Amino acid sequence: MKRWLPVYASAFFAFLHLPLLTLAIFSFNSSRFTHWEGFSLAWYRAIFHDPQILEGTWNSVVIAFWATIFSTVIGTLCAYGLWKRNSRTLTGALYLSLVTPEIVSGIALLALFQWAFRFLHWQLGLYTVVLAHIAFCIAYVVIVVSARLRTISPALEEAALDLGANPWQAFWYVTLPALAPGILAAALLALTVSFDDYVITSMVAGVDSETLPMVIYAMARRGASPVINAISALITVIFGVLILISERVRET
Amino acid sequence: MKLRTWFLLPACLCMAVLFAAPFAIVMAYSFLTRGSFGGIALPWNFENYQRLVDPLYLSILGRSFLMAIGATAACLVLAFPAALFISQAPRHKNLYLQLVMLPFWTSFLVRTYAWIFLLRDTGLFNTALQALGLIHEPLPLLYNNGAVLLGLVYGYLPFMVLPIYATLERLDPSLVEAAADLGARPLTTVFRVVVPLSKPGIVAGSVLVFIPCLGAYLTPDLLGGGRTVLVGNLVQNQFTTARDWPFGSAVSIALMAIVTLLLVIFLRRESEPLA
């Protein structure tokens, strides 16, 4: 047992990491087939010459930016509002939004937008994607910020109130700075979750708002391609760095 | 109103408009009739729910359940020894935990695509096996139930490792020593002492894996290549190709009912499950 467990654990970590690692290695292959022919950056150059990929990336960045800002502010306020006092309806709705199958959220939001457009003559576009992303990012933010709030002593805020601060000042000058690492971690999480989403996005995106995951999906449906390997490697590295930063920040 | 109550307002508004309202609409659609051009029409009726018990759709639901149960079982078997290893590691625990979480936080789409790259006819496995002369024709590894199962297990494995690890961490080591002192062999100790005591983690992990697997859409779509139709694909299909929104809505509501029921049972057992 003592000897086998580390062996098994190595195999387990290999199973988790080797698929992404080989994918990244083959993104540097000069051949478009899965034989190794030589080192090349051709597929990375191809990314920057593909207008669809560039436009998708730009759309994804814009969407993730706004979705992160809104969901972080709303989620942080919500976590603070729920501190030491529970609202079963709101907490229940947040948990439920987290476990709802993505495809169901997607069609439900599509149904909502289609229904609203009967009265407002708008169309699906980037902003419908932003709204959808805000909806599913809030729960993540609330969970991360709430975890941070539990480590903060309520006595700090009570002291501020006793010393004459009004509730807003106590929040702004005392609790919020103490929460900052949690908020930053939550924002980075929201950013990655938003940037990665395909299922909900594909249901509510307009014709002019194709995101990077939608471009990757369309390419993956046609089979593998070294260009996707290259984008995947880039995304994995960027996400990995962001998450490591957020872990570091959360520990402080 | 107190400041804290004001702070809850934006979130309440968002959840009402972007979560509750869409579901109210889907709920309403599920009792309507399909319009002649694909939209919705009157009259109100229960026919969409009656269609759910049609053998065709029951088999899709059954297949989704089997797939989710299979993925959960496979995750449990794979994750338990790994969690045990991490909990017993003398150092670097945090590093191991981050190694478990890191692929999880990278793009789900990319992780699913990685298996297309590995498993397809001209993929790494088939190319390597052919180069070694072990096979002459590529093996049909992709676009079948096995590939979907693999993709689900790969996608949700961290959800199983973390809760099991959390309970193993809290386990009193003297109980394990007592078992050993009383003559139990290591494997006996694991199965008769450690596994029963880590039941809360096993239950939590199983729920966290089972729920997303049951409603999975992307994995069966990409790795099943349209051949493995699960309930998530059925919903998508009704809203796009089939253009039968009322029936798609009824399937969604049924799926949500199952997921909600599981969540409620789980929350009753545990006080703080996801935090």
How far is B206 from A140, CA to CA, in rounded Å?
Answer: 20
Query: What residues make up the domain containing A61?
Result: 52-251
How far is B239 from B262, CA to CA, in rounded Å?
Answer: 25
Match 């972080």 to its residue by tokens: A72
Q: What is the pLDDT of residue B273?
A: 44
How close does chain A come to B97, measured CA to CA in Å? 11
Both structure tokens of B57 = 């759709």
- Note whether residue A121 is domain-resident: yes
Segments in chain A forming alpha helices (H):
4-26, 42-48, 51-81, 88-99, 102-116, 126-149, 154-162, 167-169, 176-196, 199-204, 212-221, 226-251
Structural domains in chain A (count): 1
How far is A61 from A3, CA to CA, in rounded Å?
Answer: 47
Tens of pLDDT, residue by residue over B24-52, are 999 988 888 777 666 777 777 777 788 88
What's the whole-number average pLDDT of chain A? 86
How far is B144 from B220, CA to CA, in rounded Å?
Answer: 9
CATH 1.20.120.1200 fits B54-269, yes or no: no
How far is B33 from B36, CA to CA, in rounded Å?
Answer: 9
Task: Say if the Cβ atoms of A108 and B22 lie within 8 Å.
Answer: yes
Please give the backbone phi and psi of residue A29, each rounded to the nearest 5 degrees, phi first: -80, 135
- Note whether residue A30 is domain-resident: no
How close does chain A come to B237, measured CA to CA in Å? 10
Question: Taking residues A22-37, what's their average pLDDT?
Answer: 77
Tens of pLDDT, residue by residue over B102-147, are 877 778 888 888 898 888 877 777 777 887 877 777 777 778 888 8
How far is A61 from A242, CA to CA, in rounded Å?
Answer: 14
What's the whole-number average pLDDT of chain B? 84
Packing angle of the helix pair A176-196, A51-81 (nearest 10 deg): 140
Return the SS3 of B245. helix
**Partner-chain residue, chosen from A81, A107, A232, that has the shortest CB–CB distance to B235:** A107
Are B40 and B34 a contacting pair, CB within 8 Å? yes
- Note whether residue A45 is domain-resident: no
- Note whether residue A42 is domain-resident: no
Q: What is the ipTM of this complex?
A: 0.85
How close does chain B come to A151, measured CA to CA in Å? 13
- Note whether residue A133 is domain-resident: yes
Match 């008769």 to its residue by tokens: B192
- The CA angle A243-A244-A246, to the nearest 5 degrees, is 60
Residue A158, domain CATH: 1.10.3720.10
Are B165 and B200 a contacting pair, CB within 8 Å? no
- Note whether residue A75 is domain-resident: yes
Nearest to A64 by CA among A116, A114, A136, A123: A136
Instruction: Give the residue extent of every domain in chain B.
Output: 54-269
**What's the pTM value of the predicted model, to 2 decimals?**
0.87
Q: What is the CA radius of gyration of chain B?
A: 23
Task: Say if the Cβ atoms of B15 and A94 lie within 8 Å.
Answer: yes
Q: List CB contacts (< 8 A) between A198 and chain B.
A: 108-109, 218
- Note whether residue A11 is domain-resident: no
* Structure confidence at residue A34 as a pLDDT band (50, 70, 90): low
Q: SS in 3 state form for A166-204?
A: CHHHHHHHHHHHHHHHHHHHHHHHHHHHHHHCCHHHHHH
Task: Say if the Cβ atoms of B260 and A2 lie within 8 Å.
Answer: no
- Note whether residue A151 is domain-resident: yes
Amino acid at B64: S
